[in-house]
Amino acid sequence: MKTMKIADHTVPAIGLGTWHMGEPSNRQTEIKAIRAGIDAGATVIDTAEMYGNGLSEDLVGQAIDGLDREKLFLIDKVLPQNASKKRMEKSLDTSLKRLKTDYVDLYLYHWRGSVPLSETVATLQELQQSGKIKRWGVSNFDVVDMVELLGLPNGNNVAANEDLYNLGSRGLDFDMIPWLVKRDIPLIAYSPIAQGDRFGANLTTNKVIKAIADNHNATPYQILLAWVIRNGSTLAIPQSANPEHVVANVEAANITLSKEELFMIDSEYPAPESKQPLDIL
């Protein structure tokens, strides 16, 4: 299984996303899905206080209750309006209570808001020193944001950037990914399978993708995930409430695409040749 390094940990390159999860009516099925992913080898679970206004965090807390916390890597995110010195710790404490834990492994600033970035970074540093978060990072940052971040005191302590990235939305390949790789900052890719072709790129029905999937006795979704994690410094966090689909997603970390296959994929979905606006959902 392919692994990658993030926030001082080596983890499987495919984790578990929980966006759009947590509604009480689906709770038991979703708990089974998360547990199935963990049993299949996933250790990373990504959530946020925004997801269902805390329902996703509640779900994760229930799903991991009774498991060995030290073997899991939890990612959570703080909303822009809570990213101030005055509000962030209280927001984090609420998240920790929902998660039934006393720390998160990686705490992300979900997207930029009106709070000065320097204040957010200083507060994240304080929370890290308190032990409530092990490391911190950012989300939905473009290169210009990352450059500003690294110019701030302690900004170079950023442990990751989480952005939308998949074969149909690969604007990051022009500048962001090379920039991150050069500085040894990992990328967390959300919506790595384009939410099941909802973005209109028709990835899973493409003849080349289907042929490569057949070569690996895999599904097109697994090939899309194998492509996202191909560089060794990207963590993919696909979301599914179906236990079988979750297991298949995790198992995609066992697939290695050949140079020829990567060339074939690039021919169908070329890398951008100019700067692209950052895709955000």
Residues in contact with 237: Cβ distance below 8 Å, sequence separation at least 6, in sequence order: 14, 15, 16, 17, 44, 46, 75, 188, 189, 190, 192
Residues in contact with 121: Cβ distance below 8 Å, sequence separation at least 6, in sequence order: 149, 152, 153, 154, 155
Q: How many CA atoms, within 13 angstroms, populate the side-chain half-sphere of residue 163?
A: 27
C-alpha torsion angle, residues 30, 109, 139, 240 (rounded to 10) = 0
Bridge partners of residue 268, in order along the sequence? none
Cα angle, residue 245 at apex, residues 72 and 3 outer, rounded to 5° = 40
Active site residue 51: yes
Bridge partners of residue 239, in order along the sequence? 17
Q: Is 76 exposed, middle or buried (0-12, 13-18, 19+ CB in 10 A)?
A: buried
Bridge partners of residue 13, in order along the sequence? none
Indicate which residue of 51, 109, 165, 221 is catalytic. 51
Give CA–CA dist 84/74, Å, rounded.
22
Bridge partners of residue 196, in order along the sequence? none
Residues annotated as catalytic are 51
